[in-house]
Structure formats: structure tokens, C-alpha cells
Amino acid sequence: MTDDLLERALAQAAHTPDAAPLPDLSAPAAAAGLLDVAYTRLDSPVGTLLLASTILGLVRLAYLDGDAEDAVLEDLAERVSPRVLSAPRRLDEPRRELEQYFEGRRRRFELPLDWRLTGGFGRRVLEATAAIPYASVRSYREVAAAAGSPRGSRAAGNALGHNPLPIIVPCHRVLHADGGLGGYTGGLERKQYLLRVEGHLTLA
């Protein structure tokens, strides 16, 4: 039954005029076991975001600058599963929590996360970063120490630069020990904006 539904949906998509909206294939694909990674886009104050989730939780949040979307989807297909499909309804909760965050109505994300795109010391760095409270900051050295390597500031910076879940795992809350912004995968303007959303006094 589910295979028949999917075949009918695919047939409909093949005969849909270019100007018409494509049918939603996510439900029949999921029922047929053909949807491993669901994704959608979210327009936000820091630009368009791509959100992707698996059965375990949110696995990717990416800033969509230029032609980044194709690269993000290809990376997900290679590293998670080739069964990647647009399925906005499956990401209603992440979108809702992010919208609340940007509106200043949410201080803590409660989303399940799929950590499979991280590992080793990098994952420990990101887990330590995820524990930094709202409106607080830590230094790269402090995050490295919390991850088990007090002298690993540079490695911690590299791990944060490859954070697959920015905003949710708040790498924008990690600064240089002297208060300098340091780097940020989405650019320093976004880092400043996120810190301002949280009312960080040094950037008021």
C-alpha cells in the first residue's frame, strides 16, 4: 500500500507543470521507509537557515549563503543517508523553538539532537558548549578544559568552526579570553547579532 502511494505521488510529480507546486512526498516516502533525513528552510533574522533531522533528532543547522544548500544536502546524503527529502512538517518543533529564540521568548532549546556528525574531542567540545547558559560566555580555553584538554584551545576553535548545529549548540557564546569575538562559521556579524539577542552586555 505505501509503495503504491509513493509511486502515485512520484507519477504526479513527474507530470506537474513547472509553475505548479510539487506534491508533498514526505508522508508516502516515510511510510515506505524511504525518508531518513527530513529538511526544510527557515527565514530568520540571520538569514535563511536549513534545518535537517533524523529519527534521533536535529542533525544539521546551516546558514544558506550563496549556493550552500546543494552542498549541505550532498554532505548529508554522504554522511548520514542518501534518503534526504524536504519535509517541513517534520521540523515544526525546531522552527517553533528558533522563532521563539529570535523573538526573545526562549532561553533554552529542548530539541533532541543527533550528534552523528561529530566525534572524539570535537564532540566533547560541542557538548561543553551546549552547556553554556543563555547570555553567558566562555573562553576557548575554558571550553577546551571542560572537554578534557586545557591546552587544546586551538583544537577547540577548530571544532567550533565545524559545528553542525550552530545557534542550537551555541558556539557564538565562546570568545577569546581577552573578550575578543574570535571566529564564527556564519560570520562575525551573525555572532554579534546572536549575542545581542541574548543581551550580552559587552555588545549592547
Helix 120-130, helix 153-161: angle, nearest 10: 80
Report pTM.
Answer: 0.83
Domains in the chain with CATH codes? 35-102 (3.30.160.70), 120-203 (1.10.10.10)
Query: What pLDDT does 185 receive?
Result: 87
Query: Taking the mean position of all CA atoms in its chain, how far away is CA 110?
Result: 14
52, 146, 171, 194: the active-site residue: 171
Task: Give per-residue pLDDT as tens, 114-139.
Answer: 999 999 999 999 999 999 999 999 99
Alpha helices in 32-150 (DSSP H): 68-79, 92-102, 120-130, 140-146
Is 110 in the active site? no
Q: Which residues contact 173 (CB under 8 A, 6 or more apart)?
A: 129, 132, 136, 137, 138, 195, 198
C-alpha to C-alpha distance for 200 and 192, rounded to whole angstroms: 9
